[in-house]
C-alpha cells in the first residue's frame, strides 16, 4: 500500500477507535491512537497474513502485549475484513468477541494470544519465535509493547533470551509516547536510555518517528534483513495522536470520549486528511 493510502487508512482506524470507545463508554484512547501507524503499516505492508485464512501455518504472528490498546487491532482486522465492521460496535460488551483486552478464547480471527497483563507479550513472542526457529519455519513474530511496560522485569528476561537464541525472526516495537496511567514514564520509573539498554542486551535497535510512515516502512524492511539478532523498533509517538485535546494528556490513557468529544475528534481527523 502506498504511503498516501496508509495515511488515509490510519485516519479511518483513528475514527473507528473513537467511535468504539464512545459507544462502550470506557477504554483506552491515548495508547490506541499513538500506535495506529505502527500497526497499520505492519499489517498492510509487511506481515504475511491472509485475512481469509488467519490460521495459515505460514502466517506471521502479531502479539499485542499492551492489550489495553486493542481497539487499534480490532479496527485493522475490520478494515482487512477479518471481521464485520458492525462488530466494532460491540466493544467491551458482555459476550462480545471484542473484549477490553484481546481474548484468544473468543474465537476472534487474528487474535493469537490473550494479553493485558503487562510485561508478558515479549516472553510469549520469544517462545513462538524460538519454536519457529526449531521447526525451521520462516514465520516472523511481531510484539507491540508500551514504554511504561518496559518497567516490568519480565521484559528483560525475555530480551536476554531473545538475544541468546539469536531470534532474528522476532521484531519488537516499543510505542514510546512518554505517558502511562500515573503520568510521565520518566517520573513513574524512568526507562531511559531505552535504546542503549536493548543494545546492551544484544538487540538490533532502530529508533524512529512512530507516526512517519516512510520511516516505519523502512524500519520493518530493515528488520527483516538483520541476521542473528532480534530487532526492536524504538518508536517516538504522541499519546492521543490526531486529537488536539487528547495529545500528550495522561488523563486520556483510560477514559472514553463523550459523544460531543468524539464528534469533535473525528472532525479534526477529517480536516487533517483534507
Residue 274 confidence (pLDDT): 80
CATH number at residue 157: 3.40.50.970
- Tens of pLDDT along the chain (274 residues) come to 999 999 999 999 999 999 999 999 999 999 999 999 999 999 999 999 999 999 999 999 999 999 999 999 999 999 999 999 999 999 999 999 999 999 999 999 999 999 999 999 999 999 999 999 999 999 999 999 999 999 999 999 999 999 999 999 999 999 999 999 999 999 999 999 999 999 999 999 999 999 999 999 999 999 999 999 999 999 999 999 999 999 999 999 999 999 999 999 999 999 998 8
Q: How many domains does the structure of the chain reveal?
A: 1
Domain span holding position 118: 3-273
For 250, residues 6+ apart whose C-beta sits below 8 A from its C-beta are 30, 179, 180, 181, 182, 183, 184, 239
Alpha helices in the chain, H assignment, sequence order = 3-24, 29-34, 36-41, 70-79, 121-134, 153-164, 185-189, 194-200, 213-225, 259-273
Rg of the chain (C-alpha set): 17
Total H helices, total E strands in the chain: 10, 7
Angstrom distance (rounded) from CA 256 to CA 274: 26
Model-wide pTM > 0.85: yes
Cell of 12: 479511518
For 242, residues 6+ apart whose C-beta sits below 8 A from its C-beta are 11, 14, 33, 36, 265, 268, 269, 272
The C-alpha cell 528488520 sits at: 223
Amino acid at each position: 500500500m502506498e504511503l498516501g493510502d496508509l495515511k488515509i487508512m490510519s485516519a479511518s482506524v483513528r475514527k473507528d477507535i473513537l467511535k468504539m470507545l464512545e459507544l462502550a463508554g470506557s477504554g483506552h484512547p491515548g495508547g490506541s491512537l499513538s500506535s495506529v501507524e505502527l500497526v497499520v503499516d505492519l499489517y498492510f505492508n509487511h506481515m504475511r497474513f491472509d485475512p481469509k485464512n488467519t490460521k495459515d501455518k505460514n502466517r506471521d504472528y502479531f502479539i499485542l502485549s499492551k492489550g489495553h490498546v486493542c481497539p487499534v487491532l480490532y479496527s485493522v482486522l475490520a478494515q482487512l475484513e477479518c471481521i464485520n465492521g458492525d462488530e466494532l460496535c460491540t466493544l467491551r460488551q458482555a459476550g462480545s468477541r471484542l473484549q477490553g483486552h484481546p481474548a484468544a478464547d473468543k474465537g476472534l480471527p487474528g487474535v493469537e494470544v490473550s494479553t493485558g497483563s503487562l510485561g508478558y507479550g515479549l516472553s510469549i513472542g520469544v517462545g513462538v519465535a524460538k519454536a519457529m526457529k526449531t521447526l525451521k519455519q520462516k514465520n516472523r513474530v511481531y510484539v507491540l509493547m508500551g514504554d511504561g511496560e518496559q518497567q516490568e522485569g519480565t521484559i528483560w528476561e525475555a530480551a536476554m533470551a531473545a538475544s541468546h537464541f539469536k531470534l532474528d525472526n522476532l521484531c519488537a516495537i516499543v510505542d514510546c509516547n512518554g505517558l502511562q496511567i500515573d503520568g510521565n514514564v520518566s517520573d513513574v520509573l524512568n526507562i531511559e536510555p531505552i535504546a542503549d539498554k536493548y543494545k546492551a542486551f544484544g538487540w538490533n535497535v532502530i529508533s524512529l518517528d512512530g507516526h512517519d510512515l516512510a520511516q516505519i516502512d523502512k524500519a520493518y524492511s530493515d528488520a527483516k534483513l538483520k541476521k542473528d539478532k532480534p530487532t526492536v523498533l524504538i518508536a517516538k509517538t504522541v499519546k492521543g495522536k490526531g486529537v488536539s485535546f487528547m495529545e500528550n494528556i495522561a488523563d486520556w490513557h483510560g477514559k472514553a470520549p463523550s459523544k460531543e468529544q468524539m464528534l469533535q475528534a473525528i472532525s479534526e481527523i477529517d480536516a487533517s486528511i483534507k
